[in-house]
Structure 1
Amino acid sequence: MTGTVTQVSTASNGSQLASVKTGVSLSADGSLVAFQSTDSDQHAGIMVKNLVTGGLSSVSTNGAGVEANGQSYNAQMAANGQYVAFLSKATNLVAADTNNADDVFVKNLLTGAVVNASTSAAGAQANAPSADVALSADGHWAAFTTYASNLVAGDDNYADIYVKNLLTGAITRASTNSAGGCRQRQQR
Structure 2
Amino acid sequence: MEEDIDYAVKELRMLEVLYIHDKVERTTSYAGSAQIADYIKAKRATLLVSADGRYEVFQSNASNLVEADENRATDIFLRDNFSDTLSRASVSSKGEESNGYSLDASISPEGRYVVFESDATNLVEEDTNNVWDIFLYDTLFHTTTRVSLGSGGTQSSGGNSTAPSVSADGRYVAFDSEAVNLVEGDTNMLCDIFVHDRFSGTTRRVSVNLNGAESFGGDSFSPTISSDGRFVTFYSLARNLVGE
TM-score (norm 2): 0.71
Contact kept, 8 Å, 1:23 with 1:73, in 2: the verdict is no
Structure with more helix by fraction: 2
1:54 to 67, 84, 96: 84
Match of 1:171 among 172, 187, 203: 203
Matches for 1:83-162 after TM superposition, within 5 Å: 83-127=113-157, 128-157=159-188, 158-162=190-194
Tell me, yes or no, if structure 1 residue 4 matches structure 2 residue 28: yes
SS in 2 for 1:145: strand
Query: Is the alpha carbon distance of 1:183 and 1:25 closer, same or farther for their aligned partners in structure 2, counting shifts above 3 Å?
Result: same
- Give 1:185 shift: 6.3
Please list every run of at least 4 consecutive aligned residues from structure 1 whose deviation after the TM superposition is greater than 6 angstroms: none
**Whole-angstrom CA distance in 2 between matches of 1:106 and 1:10:** 28
In structure 2, give the amino acid aligned to 1:112: H
Where do 5+ consecutive residues of structure 2 fail to align?
1-24, 64-70, 220-244
Residue 152 of structure 1: SS of its match in structure 2?
coil
Contact 1:82 1:108 in 2 (8 A): yes
Distance 1:180 1:50, change over 3 A: same
Q: Deviations over 1:32-57 (max 9, x none)?
A: 01000114343000000111121000
Distance 2:73 2:45 in 1: 14
Q: With a CA cutoff of 8 Å and minimum separation of 6, indicate the structure with the bigger relative contact order.
A: 1
Q: Which residue does 1:36 correspond to in 2?
A: 59
> Which residue of 2 is the match for residue 22 of structure 1?
45
Query: How big is each residue's C-alpha offset from its partner over 1:38-81, in whole Å with a ceiling of 9 and x where there is no partner?
Result: 14343000000111121000000000000011000111001121
Q: Secondary structure at the match of 2:30?
A: coil
What CA deviation, in whole Å up to 9, does each residue of 1:63-100 have, x standing for no partner?
00000110001110011211100000100000010111
2:230 maps to none
Cα pair 1:156 1:185 within 8 Å, conserved? no
> C-alpha separation between the residues in 2 aligned to 1:18 and 1:42?
17
Between the aligned residues of both structures, percent identity stands at: 34
Q: CA deviation at 1:2?
A: 2.8
Q: In terms of mean alpha carbon deviation, does 22-31 or 160-169 score higher?
A: 22-31
Q: State which structure, 1 or 2, has the greater radius of gyration over its C-alpha atoms.
A: 2
Equivalents in 2 of 1:18, 1:24: separation in Å? 10
Given the two structures, how large is their TM-score scaled by the length of structure 1?
0.91
Secondary structure in 2 aligned to 1:142?
strand
Instruction: Please give the root-mean-square deviation of Cα atoms over the aligned residues, in Å.
Output: 2.0
- Counterpart Cα distance in 2 of 1:35 and 1:9: 15
**Number of residues paired by the alignment?**
185
- In structure 2, C-alpha distance between the alignment counterparts of 1:144 and 1:9, rounded to whole Å: 33
Structure 1 residues 81 and 173, CA, compared in 2 at 3 Å: closer, same or farther?
Answer: same
